A and B are shown apart, each in its own frame.
Chain A
Amino acid sequence: GQQLNQSPQSMFIQEGEDVSMNCTSSSIFNTWLWYKQDPGEGPVLLIALYKAGELTSNGRLTAQFGITRKDSFLNISASIPSDVGIYFCAGHNNDMRFGAGTRLTVKP
């Protein structure tokens, strides 16, 4: 099946540091999306990527759709405490597949 490998599983960083996480797959996806989930809440869409090579920013967040269409990364610059949460990547062809998530902890 279309498995997504998301890494790292968890990150513990200091406030102000930059963060990078990525997703890879053995299959090609037509769309890559990044979501953030806070405890007890549903995932919130951060960035959607629709074209190979596309680089998109949303405030301090930047995500790229890999040229091979098999990977994507998400960067967060100058992290703040409210960035804490679980970040999920998702790839879409006929249906949506999710990565296992990256749990981010930001120490003030």
Chain B
Amino acid sequence: GAVVSQHPSRVICKSGTSVKIECRSLDFQATTMFWYRQFPKQSLMLMATSNEGSKATYEQGVEKDKFLINHASLTLSTLTVTSAHPEDSSFYICSAREGARTDTQYFGPGTRLTVL
């Protein structure tokens, strides 16, 4: 149980384009999902907390107009990187919190974004 999927696993795009990443909880409902960014050989950096049916809460320093988050259902959250630039290239990982256990997060497999 507690499986989280992400799509796509890898994406390469041109500078200036937008990229959408999907995060799905496959076998449970997730009222809260999280989006992280991870640089090589570093820990996970929380970007934002996504609550179903409401606006996401962004961490300090994360541009909400650049990283658009939508959590339209209990099993799907999306992160859209708008007008991507090479410095946005990174490993993006989502996680979902199972309702019954509010302090345990299950992670997706991650999305490797490369902006040319």
Contacts and interface: CB of A to CB of B under 8 A. Distances in A.
Given A95-B49, A100-B43, A101-B43, A33 B104 contact: yes
B43 A45 contact: no
Interface residues of B, number: 23
Interface in B92-116: 93, 95, 101, 103-110, 112
Given A41-B110, A42-B109, A43-B93, A98 B104 contact: no
Contacts of B44: 43, 88, 98
Contacts, number: 50
B43 A40 contact: no
Given A98-B43, A99-B43, A100-B43, A92 B110 contact: no
Interface in A32-63: 33, 35, 40-45, 48, 50
A30 interface: yes
By Cβ-Cβ distance, the 7 closest A-B pairs, closest first, are A42-B107, A92-B103, A31-B103, A42-B110, A42-B109, A43-B107, A98-B43
Interface of B: 2, 4, 6, 34, 41-44, 46, 49, 91, 93, 95, 101, 103-110, 112
